């Protein structure tokens, strides 16, 4: 019988610290010392620059502006362009073994489906957008996705805008988007959303979508 999916909430973290903790968890998953795990966290304000060519050109704010706003800048080994992480945004890091189905494209589609199904429970009809990563409401991006894999164990993941400070997105060209914008659950629903409720629903939908690699609860 497959091990059930574990869910861990790290609370507020610095991006670099969370990255080191992810790598340690990846190693434990590789050796079988940990089950497939979905990690939740909120990062201190940070712009992370992914592996996409030219991503660093999408940073708008200068050093003085970054310091004034309390936002750091870090290069990451995840896929994708530049994005923002900060309080009020749920970051999900699935540490999952793909040994039984070595298909990263299918994994990404499943990860997107988790978020789409979660947002549907809040009355938000989101979708994928042709040629773009992440989850969208029309031309408004509500969730960024950037993943990596190491010996067929996944890390990095998704960043869902629940109640973040949206002004921080003005310091970058978010994900290199030139034909759209970013949004949040709070902006779309007109009220502050309880992060705990969203995390709980994400965990439920994650279990449903990934039931082929994690045993039912």
pTM above 0.85, yes or no: yes
DSSP H stretches of helix in 12-103: 15-30, 63-69
Domain coordinates in residue numbering, the chain? 6-209
DSSP assigned state of 100: T
Please tell me the predicted confidence (pLDDT) of residue 4: 64
Please tell me the predicted confidence (pLDDT) of residue 97: 93
Please tell me the predicted confidence (pLDDT) of residue 130: 81
Please tell me the predicted confidence (pLDDT) of residue 129: 83
CA 142-68-48 angle, to 5 degrees, is 40
6-209 falls under which CATH superfamily? Bira Bifunctional Protein; Domain 2 (3.30.930.10)
DSSP H stretches of helix in 63-194: 63-69, 104-120, 185-189
Q: How far apart are CA 177 and CA 144, in angstroms?
A: 11
Phi, psi of 117 (to 5 degrees): -65, -40
Residue 85 gets the label, from left (phi > 0), alpha (psi -120 to 50) or beta, of beta
Give every CB contact of residue 104 below 8 A, 6+ residues apart in sequence.
98, 147, 149
Please tell me the predicted confidence (pLDDT) of residue 132: 78
Tell me the CA distances in angstroms from 130 to 79, 109, 110, one per residue in order.
17, 13, 16
- Which among 143, 149, 152 is positioned nearest to 188, based on CA atoms? 143
Please tell me the predicted confidence (pLDDT) of residue 216: 37
The set of catalytic residues is 175
- Three-state DSSP class for residue 13: strand
Q: What is the mean pLDDT of each run of 10 residues along the chain (217 residues)?
A: 76 96 96 94 95 88 95 88 94 94 91 96 90 88 92 95 96 78 96 97 93 45
Q: Count CB neighbours of 120 within 10 A.
A: 13
């Amino acid at each position: 019988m497959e091990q059930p999916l574990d869910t861990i909430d790290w609370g507020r973290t610095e991006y670099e610290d969370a990255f080191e903790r992810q790598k340690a968890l990846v190693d434990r998953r590789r050796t079988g010392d940990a089950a497939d795990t979905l990690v939740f966290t909120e990062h201190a304000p940070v712009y992370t620059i992914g592996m996409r060519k030219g991503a660093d050109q999408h940073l708008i704010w200068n050093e003085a502006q970054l310091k004034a706003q309390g936002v750091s800048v870090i290069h990451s080994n995840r896929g994708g362009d530049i994005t923002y992480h900060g309080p009020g945004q749920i970051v999900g890091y699935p540490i999952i073994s793909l040994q039984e189905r070595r298909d990263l494209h299918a994994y990404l589609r499943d990860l997107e489906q988790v978020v789409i199904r979660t947002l549907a429970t809040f009355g938000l009809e989101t979708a994928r957008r042709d040629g773009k990563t992440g989850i969208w409401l029309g031309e408004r991006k509500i969730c960024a996705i950037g993943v990596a894999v190491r010996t067929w164990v996944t890390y990095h993941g998704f960043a869902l805008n629940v109640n973040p400070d949206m002004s921080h997105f003005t310091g970058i060209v978010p994900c290199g988007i030139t034909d759209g914008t970013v949004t949040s659950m709070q902006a779309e629903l007109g009220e502050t959303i309880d992060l705990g409720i969203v995390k709980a629903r994400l965990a439920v939908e994650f279990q449903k979508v990934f039931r082929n690699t994690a045993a039912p609860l």
